[in-house]
Each structure stands twice: as C-alpha cells, then as structure tokens.
C-alpha cells in the first residue's frame, strides 16, 4: 500500500506542483507529500473536513489552482470510517483535467469501486484488509506518464540499458512478491465468489449492531457518521477518565478482545476529530463470518469501565504515556493491541 502510494505520488509530481488532499488522510499519504514538499518543493492544500470526517466537494473545488497537478483522496477514513464522495470528486477532477489518486485501503474488497464511473486515474490498495490477501497493488491509467522509482531487471526487453516504457514492466523491477500475488489472488477469488454486495451487507450489519449498542451508553463518545450506510466497518470511541491505551489493555486482558488504540497512523484525522491528545479506541468488523460470536462483550465492558476517572485495580497507570505497554502490544505511536477472540 505505502509503496503503491509512493509510486503514484513520486512518479507523477514534479518540482513546483500543487497537490490537493484532505484533513483525514493517513500518514501513508501525508508523509509522502511532506517529503515531496521538502525534496521537490511541491505545495500542499489539505481541505478541512468536518469532525465527523465529511468532505464538502465545494471546499475541495475552491482549493484547486492552475498549478494543481494531483488530487489525493482516501476512500474511507481508517479512524472514523467515513466514506468520501469519490464520484463527485472524480467528476470535478475530470472537468479540470487533474488526475485523481484514490487510497482504497479501507474499501477495496468491501465496497463497490467503479473506476470509470468514479473517474479514478490512480488507485492504491493494501491486500491485508478487505482483499483478504497479504499484499496489495496499484492501478495506473496509462494516459499518465508515471516515472518508476525502482530500476533493474524486468525479465524481458533485457537488451535495453534503460527501464522499459511498457507497463507493468516499467514499474516491476526485480523479483516480484510471488507468494503475495498468489495470496492476493486467493483472496480476490473468495470475494468474487461471495460478491462485494454480500460482504458489504455483512459489514453494515455488524457495524450497525455495534453502533446501536455503543450509542445506548451515555458515557461513551463515538466519532464519525454513526451510520453504517455512511461508513465502513470502523468505529472509534473513547470512555471518560481512561486513556485509549488503558481501554485497549482492559479489553485484551479481561475480555480477550483485540482493538487498536492511539492515533492509528493518522494524526491529521485526529486533529480533525478533536482527539489528537488522547487518540481513540478503534474496533473493526471482520470481513468474513467467524465461528465464535461474542457480541455482548464490548458494550458490557464499556458499562463496567465507566469509572468517572477512578483508578481500576490492576491497570497500569502510566499506560499510554509512551513509557510502558503490555506484552504483545504494538510499539508505534503510543498504540496498543490485544488478543483477538470473536467478533470485535
């Protein structure tokens, strides 16, 4: 995913170009753009979204300039789950003759994507989420001249001293990740057999159930659209008096439920939602049906964990301050995860 985004952005942007993106982007997009700002002198406009993660297309339109060379947009937020108006942005991009790069990490394999109808010129996706495979890839509209950032053997046209012009050889120097490609193919076969619509309905059912149960708890703050039809299967929430890492620790040690806590590699989104200082607890609906279903555990835990700021026995007080984290927790960005059992 990250390599795909880098290939697209580094391959199409030139010195002095202007890029329009949003305030909900993942670091996979934002850090690459900031690198290019430093190295190539590009300029960046991040269009502000609402605290729920919604993007107004008219705001994005107002940010476009004569030197705008690329629009970069995530399809859905990995923090709030909010689905972006890709088709409307694509229509705008086509009218202005500006290529659109879509980050489909949260939607590929789960949400219908029509490249033509949405006017998508470049699309990057991971494989280990909705596509159910170990690795992802990138789609490139051949009308755009994308420069490779890797050079070497391609297995063909070996007489040439320079990199071949024809895709995909132009972008595939070196030995490919054959195991990853095979795994991705198996995931895609499953998805095509099940159908995107069936998988999306399953995700909406689980997301709607979790939202309903969490919404019943007055003490829980939920972020995002709070509407399963307007978001993917990602829900972020917080509890009063507890750091997000503390909630993750309790869910792991007491309930065997895996969540992610912290900034989720998306500080822009957390600034937008107002959670940059504490992050959020994030749960996600599985893309396939699991044999063990434990729907009652998350809401039950939230009721018990509403401490009003009191210390919970056995909970490390410094969890979440970057100094200490439970065994097996993720070390990056003050984020932690626990073991997975069941649905959430």
> Does the fold of domain 196-337 match that of domain 2-191?
no
- What are the domain boundaries of the chain? 2-191, 196-337
What's the N-to-C CA distance of the chain in angstroms?
A: 24
Pairwise CA distance, residues 307 & 50, whole Å = 30
**Residue pLDDT, tens place only, 262-271:** 999 999 999 9
pTM for this prediction: 0.84
Predicted confidence (pLDDT) at residue 316 exceeds the cutoff of 70: no
CATH number of 2-191: 3.40.640.10
Model pLDDT, residue 168? 85
**Residue pLDDT, tens place only, 82-94:** 999 999 999 999 9
Residue 50 phi/psi, 5-degree rounding, is -75, 165
Q: Which of 88-102, 241-255, 305-319 has the highest mean pLDDT?
A: 88-102
Known catalytic membership, residue 49: no
Lowest-pLDDT range of 15-24, 67-76, 161-170, 281-290 = 281-290
Q: What is the mean pLDDT of residues 245-253?
A: 94
Correct CATH for 196-337 of 2.60.40.10, 3.90.1150.10, 2.60.120.560, 3.40.50.150: 3.90.1150.10
**Residue pLDDT, tens place only, 224-234:** 999 999 999 99
Model pLDDT, residue 151? 86
Sign of CA dihedral 133, 138, 141, 143: negative
Taking the mean position of all CA atoms in its chain, how far away is CA 169?
28
Starting at the edge strand that comes first in sequence, how are the strands of the sheet with 122-125 ordered?
A: 43-47, 18-22, 68-74, 100-103, 122-125, 137-140
Q: What is the mean pLDDT of residues 248-258?
A: 92
Residue 313 phi/psi, 5-degree rounding, is -60, 130
- Residue position matching structure tokens 């619509």: 197
Q: Which of 138-147, 184-193, 287-296 has the highest mean pLDDT?
A: 184-193
Model pLDDT, residue 317? 53
234-238 and 122-125 beta bridge pairing: unpaired
**Residue pLDDT, tens place only, 38-70:** 999 999 999 999 999 999 999 999 999 999 999
At 1, the pLDDT band (50, 70, 90 cuts) reads confident
């Amino acid at each position: 995913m990250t390599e795909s985004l880098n290939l697209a952005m580094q391959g199409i942007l030139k010195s002095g170009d202007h890029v329009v993106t949003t305030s909900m982007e993942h670091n996979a997009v934002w850090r690459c753009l900031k690198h290019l700002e430093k190295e190539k002198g590009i300029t960046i406009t991040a269009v502000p979204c609402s605290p729920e993660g919604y993007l107004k297309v008219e705001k994005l339109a107002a940010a476009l300039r004569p030197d705008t060379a690329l629009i970069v947009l995530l399809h859905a937020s990995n923090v709030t789950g909010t689905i972006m108006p890709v088709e409307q942005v694509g229509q705008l991009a086509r009218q202005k003759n500006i290529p659109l790069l879509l980050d489909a990490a949260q939607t590929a394999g789960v949400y219908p994507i029509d490249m033509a109808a949405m006017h998508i010129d470049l699309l990057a996706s991971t494989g280990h989420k909705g596509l159910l495979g170990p690795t992802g890839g990138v789609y490139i509209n051949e009308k755009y001249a994308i420069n490779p950032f890797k050079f070497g053997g391609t297995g063909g046209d070996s007489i040439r001293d320079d990199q071949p012009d024809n895709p995909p050889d132009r972008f595939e120097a070196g030995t490919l990740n054959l195991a990853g490609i095979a795994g991705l193919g198996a995931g895609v076969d499953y998805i095509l057999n099940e159908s995107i619509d069936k998988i999306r309905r399953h995700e909406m059912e689980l997301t709607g159930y979790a939202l309903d149960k969490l919404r019943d708890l007055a003490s829980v703050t939920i972020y995002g659209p709070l509407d399963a039809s307007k978001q993917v299967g990602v829900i972020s929430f917080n509890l009063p008096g507890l750091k997000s890492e503390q909630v993750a620790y309790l869910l792991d040690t007491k309930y065997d439920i895996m969540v992610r806590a912290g900034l989720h590699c998306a500080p822009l989104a957390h600034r937008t939602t107002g959670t940059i200082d504490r992050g959020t607890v994030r749960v996600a609906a599985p893309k396939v049906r699991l044999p063990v279903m434990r729907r009652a555990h998350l809401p039950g835990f939230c009721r018990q964990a509403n401490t009003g700021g009191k210390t919970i026995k056995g909970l490390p007080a410094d969890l979440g301050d970057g100094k200490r984290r439970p065994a097996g927790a993720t070390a990056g960005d003050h984020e932690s995860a626990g073991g997975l059992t069941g649905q959430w």
